């Protein structure tokens, strides 16, 4: 198994393994902004939270994913979720996805801290040669945020996924490769230390 359970920690946040008992705190976190109403995302609500967690844990049992909840260290509150997913240990590639935060924690330093933790583990512990990020063509905020990390756009997978509405999702694919990691790491550390917005709500 490429993945092993672990906790990752930075100045303001802690990433801990997702578990069934996190269902209520995750719904509470998503209620801050009613994030499930964004049609191009997969944020859970009270009706599908158990399915959301069970699916993530099933992928984890197969060695394809390592899901986390994001915890605000200042108050112990769960503020969102993220995961390694679509793992390809043979080719040493992995995706960071399913990332979302309570609305009041968006546009803070927390996403930078989270991505720095995950990318450091991917490149320096898992020895990944590439880390992917994927998002909907229509999720312009997510596309901009991924680009700000230092990831480069690889392309667009058109009609990539069928949607419950009957339509199709075009998926934009970004990546950071191992030879870029040191410069991206320097960029993220500088960005984190010089963040001018709110550190937390």
CATH number at residue 135: 3.40.630.30
Domain assignment present for residue 45? The answer is yes
pTM of the model: 0.91
Domain assignment present for residue 71? The answer is yes
Domain assignment present for residue 15? The answer is yes
State both tokens at 137: 């063509």
Residue 1 pLDDT class (50, 70, 90 cuts): confident
Strand partners, 23: none
Q: Which range, of 9-13, 33-37, 180-184, averages the lowest pLDDT?
A: 33-37
Q: Give the per-residue pLDDT at 97.
A: 94
Task: Supply the DSSP symbol for 1.
Answer: -
- For the cut 80, the answer to whether the pLDDT of residue 99 exceeds it is yes
34 lies in which domain range?
Answer: 8-193
Query: Which helix (H) or strand (E) segment is 84 a member of?
Result: strand 77-88
Main-chain dihedrals φ then ψ at residue 175, nearest 5 degrees? -155, 160
- For the cut 80, the answer to whether the pLDDT of residue 162 exceeds it is yes
Domain assignment present for residue 198? The answer is no
Alpha-carbon distance values, 36 to 40, 48, 63, 137, 180 (Å): 9, 10, 27, 18, 34
Give the residue carrying structure tokens 């419950």: 164
- For the cut 90, the answer to whether the pLDDT of residue 196 exceeds it is no
Domain assignment present for residue 200? The answer is no
Domain assignment present for residue 1? The answer is no
Q: Give the per-residue pLDDT at 72.
A: 97
CA 182, 122, 129, 155 torsion-angle sign: negative
Give the total number of structural domains in the chain.
Answer: 1
């Amino acid at each position: 198994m490429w993945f092993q359970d672990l906790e990752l920690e930075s100045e303001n946040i802690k990433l801990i393994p997702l578990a069934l008992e996190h269902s209520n705190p995750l719904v509470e976190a998503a209620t801050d902004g009613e994030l499930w109403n964004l049609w191009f995302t997969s944020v859970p609500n009270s009706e599908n939270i158990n399915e959301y967690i069970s699916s993530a844990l099933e992928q984890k049992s197969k060695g394809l994913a390592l899901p986390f909840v994001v915890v605000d260290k200042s108050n112990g509150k769960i503020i969102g979720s993220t995961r390694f997913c679509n793992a390809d240990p043979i080719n040493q590639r992995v995706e960071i996805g399913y990332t979302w935060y309570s609305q009041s924690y968006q546009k803070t330093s927390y996403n930078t801290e989270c991505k720095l933790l995950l990318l450091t583990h991917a490149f320096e512990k898992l020895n990944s040669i590439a880390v992917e990020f994927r998002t909907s063509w229509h999720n312009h905020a997510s596309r901009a945020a991924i680009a700000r990390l230092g990831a480069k756009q690889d392309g667009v997978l058109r009609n990539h996924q069928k949607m419950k509405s009957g339509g199709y999702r075009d998926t934009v694919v970004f990546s950071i490769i191992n030879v870029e990691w040191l410069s991206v790491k320097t960029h993220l550390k500088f960005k984190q230390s010089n963040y001018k917005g709110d550190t937390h709500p």
